[in-house]
Chain A
């Protein structure tokens, strides 16, 4: 009898190990408070949802904060994407404030770029699936190469984070505005095979 109890306990411990590993692996998929799930509410906006708007003058408390320890000098916005609706285009105009864009999936960040990579003051990021990438490559006009930065996403859903740094308190308002000024649009699949020279 004693032996059977020991045996059952050992079985329980082995099971506990399996359950532990499975739980840890499943948490990012099942979490309801993670950034991907929360960013989804911004999916049909064409500008980033302000996650952390900086305090300016009379408006001290940032409205909805879900970042655990936000940086009080950096305005943060997110745009969620779902690539089954078509490729996601993020366009930012660079100003005098440092801006960075990072694309995250559930696995973590897969791409990050700062405004120092901008071409003539514009940063155009297109996030697409492998199939959409091949399509875009095939549609490219040889005489007029696209200036877009194309990134193949490892998974269909995720979000792009926009961070703008306000070095001085007086720049905070501009930083909030710079986050809102970034545009996140879905390139509809209909106009995907563009006519050469069009646009």
Chain B
């Protein structure tokens, strides 16, 4: 004991220190801890205060950055494969949502304006891949107008012809019962063909409902009123 801790503070060291044995002089983790301990003892309280302040500032800022980067952390409603954040644009949005909006420069749709739903997975929970073909079929909640768009990660590939990013409710081809099928895939398809934005990689779909009563009651939407996303096959 005396050998390892020649100062008065040796008395403060915990009993487990004794089991480490003073005979071992190699740089074990415990030995490193002892070195730190000796260093701290010499520098004293100011160093500990600095350490606490530094830890607080670093962890606090890093966690705040992490929580407000990317998507909204709270308040999402899952409807089938779609996620909606009905309160993202309202005045009583939570502070994290507000911070995310401020960092992205986003102007969210207000409750009276519409509702945004996004999907990055298909019905079975596999993430949407640009090399696969998907059928987006069904109906949408009542709305005056809606658009469905697809986006890949990062900027658009300049080598691919830019045919369309999405469909609006006006231009889509419907079946006789008012339902529709959109085929999202890399190869040309008859009917409503939505070309994949990139050759491969993840994709996101966005369904925007404008002037819809569903915005006020997004939590009670049933998955039968939103389009389903089924994978039809993937390019090898």
Instruction: Report A's interface with B, CB cutoff 8 A.
Output: 1-5, 8-9, 11-20, 22-25, 27-28, 31, 33-35, 38, 51, 60, 66-69, 71-74, 76, 78, 98, 100, 102, 104-114, 116, 154, 161, 163, 165-169
Contacts and interface: CB of A to CB of B under 8 A. Distances in A.
Contact of A13 (B40, B55, B171): B55
A16 B56 contact: yes
Given A9-B51, A34-B103, A100-B211, 18 more contacts: A1-B12, A2-B12, A4-B40, A8-B51, A19-B57, A20-B64, A27-B64, A27-B102, A28-B98, A33-B105, A71-B166, A71-B208, A73-B166, A74-B147, A100-B112, A108-B101, A109-B91, A166-B168
A166 B83 CA distance: 25
Given A2-B13, A27-B64, A72-B166, A107 B149 contact: no
Q: Is the interface of A mostly helix, strand, loop or mixed?
A: mixed
Nearest to B88: A108
17 contacts: A1-B13, A2-B12, A12-B55, A13-B55, A15-B55, A16-B57, A16-B63, A20-B59, A27-B102, A60-B162, A108-B91, A111-B110, A112-B110, A114-B211, A163-B210, A165-B147, A165-B168
Nearest to B37: A1
A112 B111 contact: yes
B21 interface: no
A17 to B, nearest CB: 7
Contacts of B92: 108
A192 B86 CA distance: 38
Contacts of A35: 101-102, 105-107
A28 B12 contact: no
B56 A24 contact: no
A94 to B, nearest CB: 13
Contacts of B81: none
Nearest to A4: B48
Contact of A20 (B60, B106, B162, B168): B60
B93 A108 contact: yes
A33 B103 contact: yes
Nearest to B100: A27
B68 interface: yes
**What 9 A-B pairs have minimum CB-CB distances, sorted nearest first?**
A19-B60, A15-B56, A167-B170, A12-B55, A112-B112, A109-B110, A16-B59, A23-B64, A112-B110
A60 B158 CA distance: 13
B51 to A, nearest CB: 5
B61 interface: yes
Interface residues on B, range: 35 or more
A78 B105 CA distance: 13
B195 to A, nearest CB: 13
B222 interface: no
A19 B52 CA distance: 12
B169 interface: yes
A141 B195 CA distance: 58
Nearest to B41: A1
A27 B109 CA distance: 20
B126 interface: no
A161 B101 CA distance: 15
